[in-house]
Structure 1
Amino acid sequence: MDDASGQKLNIVIVGAGLAGLAASISCALANHKVHVLESAKELAEVGAGLQITPNASRLLRDWGLGHEIDKVAAEPTLLAVHRYSDGKILAEEKEFDEQMRRKYGAPFIDMHRVDLQRILYHKALSLGVTVELGCRFSSIGRTPPAGPEVILESGRTIQGDLVVGADGLWSRCRECLLSRTDEPLPTGDLAYRIVLELDKITDPELRQWMANPQVHFWIGPHAHAVAYSLRAGAMYNIVLLCPDDLPTGLSRTKGSISEMKRLFSDWDPILTRFLDQVDQVDKWKLMHREELESWTNPEKDFVLIGDSCHPMLPYLAQGANSSIEDGGVLGRVLSHVTSKQQIPWAIRLFESLRKSRSEMIARETFHQRDAFHMPDGEAQRERDILFASQLGKEISIKFPSRWTCPEVQPWLYGYDARREADEAVKSQPCDARTCQRS
């Protein structure tokens, strides 16, 4: 089925977010023809900061994006956890940048979502990926023996050998797979998202915090805050996580600055001084979804990736990273596919690699919320004693902060998507039995 250019499969991806663009790059590098459909009329500059951990930054470098990313990223030299009320350091890892590169061979970097999406978009285009904007998805159809097709609200249909649903938390593709309405569920938390610009800040101490990239957490009763630099210290990203008070049906709105400051008024003075600089803030309801029995259709030629099948709370910063992993594994497995008959084998293999890991990460984010949001009391005091026992040492026990926990960090950050895919293909090769259609 190879065409004149040597391309093998015709892959249609619904959604040009991080998952969809990552998948488009990975599949194009596998020499498949890729067509991305995005409902937005333009890739607008929305969003805030992202923490790109080594499990994803490794892939971005594999795709030749390291130089472009380094120009717009900040690489934190320290990660610290503070008590909410007085800023007391509960845990810190110094030389964090060096530790990450030494342990995992890839950096931990902080970026603006817009910068990463733009870099991925232009990389996809350079590889010959077709990206169409303003294409509002309607449903998935099927025309045997041709295979799946994407049907747009305009009535237009786009045929593919494989359709990838990467349309995010409010996924229509997910509903098509399930053949029913399926809306995200509230977690009980919301996020205030803030981005400050260095050139608008006059306070010398705050400017120093911004210009020297680090990651700081403040943890308190039923809430926590995280702050880190973007764009080599030219911007500062702050996220405040606290109990959800948004009405049912409202998932995002402009936040009240006075309300936000009141909620965090008795927190560490350095944090409240940052909040004094805020002139606008967005308020987001944090949502999640139940685990799916399967991410694929029975024919194994329609598959979900990213937030459409495994959205994550932000407490481990793995939503974007896991979506990039999905794209990397999908393309790498499909690099071993040369005909339509091999697609079911590849998609079964992809799902076996990604589903259990993604769901384990999603569950771990709830555990991190529990550890960071403890109300003051006996359990909190025991947690802080545990923190103190490891301060200034190499951590040797299961740790309340998964960010530096020796049990969680290695499997989270040490994941190599390309190696995992290649080893799986080697151990479960496509043969006459495994490559027949379901």
Structure 2
Amino acid sequence: MTGSGSLNITSAIVDPALLDLPWNLPLDTWPDDSIATLPKGISRHLVRFAHLGGYVVAIKETSADIARREYELLRTLQRIDVPCVEPVAVITNRTDDDGNGLDSVLVTRHLKFSLPYRALYSQTLRPDTATRLVDALAVLLVRLHIVGFFWGDVSLSNTLFRRDAGAFAAYLVDAETGSIYETLSDGQREHDLEIARVNIAGELLDLAAGGRLDEDTDPIDVSNGIIAAYRTLWTELTGSQSFASTERWRIAERVERLNELGFDIEELAIKTDDGGSQVRIQPKVVDAGHHQRRLLRLTGLDAEENQARRLLNDLDAYRSTHVDGEVDEELAAHEWLATVFEPVVRAIPRELKGKLEPAEVFHQMLEHRWFLSQNESRDVPLAEAVSSYIDTVLRHRRDEATVIDPPTGAFTLPIAIVDEDDWRDRV
């Protein structure tokens, strides 16, 4: 390209293909052979997709200061594992062939297999699909607020959607108006929610006016539904909960709900009231993917991710209810291993030891204990749960060696305890 020597490129990646794009031309005049035709949302700036090597990038023309600020915000969000587009580069000092200045640009990588919410709502969506899209956007907004990010321009066009392991996930696209704080006040969160409510309703009303929205979709109901889903999730993640000390099974129930919502628990903060009859649980949310490493570090157990998460949940609950708060987590983990995990594994009869690996046996026993406790509304003792699990579940399994890739938790309970379909839904 002509005039490439004047460019100033800030990029976290080294991709010489950046120099091959026609930066000497205004973005709206780029040739068709550089442009990728993909659906996009409404933007206050000109945005176009372009081919860059073996992938597609989104290019937004804006001022140099705004481009640099958004680039850094996106990099920060990526580092803390918030779903957002990947920043590629900021390019400034652009000039045309006559030396006239051109707008700076922010380059981000296009998220494969994704669509803007606006494009999705332009299609006919089944009610359950529309509901899951609402939930996905609510989850994204909660995740942003938890890390202290004030979006300032929540909208359908600033959000991308794609399927994620059979579920739905939402990704932030435009961080231009955003700011990161140590924590957000309730006022800041409410302000972001009001922006979301107005913007989303407005965009859907616009689609409806153009005849591109299913007639059964009420824009106001959808907008309010996102806010309602947000409030439910926020309360579940940050609210405290009280229950009797004899109902410790509710700890596992709370953690299960959070896991199902896509969040993981690093530790549980449980406090006993003066009367000794109540405990309070306050979950702390962390990024996914660290459970195998933490379990191996604390206990030496090498387990699959879901197994590790479940074992760590039990370890943290044990530490909170059985161990002096002065004891560090390594010592607590050693005590849990010696007094909880290993006795359960040793309790398995010799003839049944080939059924499952120890971590999976313990995982399934915990699930069995949780369901028994919930079903009977009491804290089922560990020994009782182990005995019940061995007699009603483990004895009826084939050896693990005869089953290819058995799914975690893939077992059934006797009909007297639970309906099989209901149990599958729970595990």
- TM-score, normalised to structure 2's length? 0.21
Larger fraction in helix: 2
Q: Radius of gyration: which is bigger? A: 2
**Higher normalized contact order (CA 8 Å, seq sep 6+, divided by chain length):** 1
- TM-score, normalised to structure 1's length? 0.21
Larger fraction in strand: 1
